[in-house]
Amino acid sequence: MIHLRLFGRCRIYHDPVSPVLKAPAEIGWDAWFRTIDLVTPQKLKGRELLLRTRGWWTVEPSDVLDIVEEHGKLVVGEKGELMVEFTNQKALEALSTSLSERFGDQVLLAP
């Protein structure tokens, strides 16, 4: 398997940025007639992490998602980084070409 990080151009500073999951999301519960003290940590999946870039990147993350899923699989790395997983070099090159054609230098892949 080949893993590369996915970066998008920052809407404000125009440098490449990528989301990193620092801690699992915590899901809690509210009820009308009682208190529920249950909080369950839930890790985000790669797709969910990419969609959180809305407003941060210069491109629409759902458009990036469609292209990435044609060639690879979005995953969250061991350190919480947004990554694309490829089965072979050909898929990596195809995604890189598709991203360049559609977004220019606004979406990038890096080790």
CB contact set of 105 (below 8 Å; sequence gap of 6+): 9
* pLDDT score recorded for residue 55: 95
* pLDDT score recorded for residue 4: 98
pLDDT band for position 16 (cuts 50, 70, 90) = very high
The first and second tokens of residue 54, run together, are 């809305």
pLDDT band for position 25 (cuts 50, 70, 90) = confident
Mean pLDDT of 21-50: 91
Distance CA 23, CA 9 (A): 24
* pLDDT score recorded for residue 75: 98
Look up tokens 């070099």; give the residue.
89
Mean pLDDT of 46-58: 96
Query: Can you give the residue ranges of every domain in the chain?
Result: 2-110
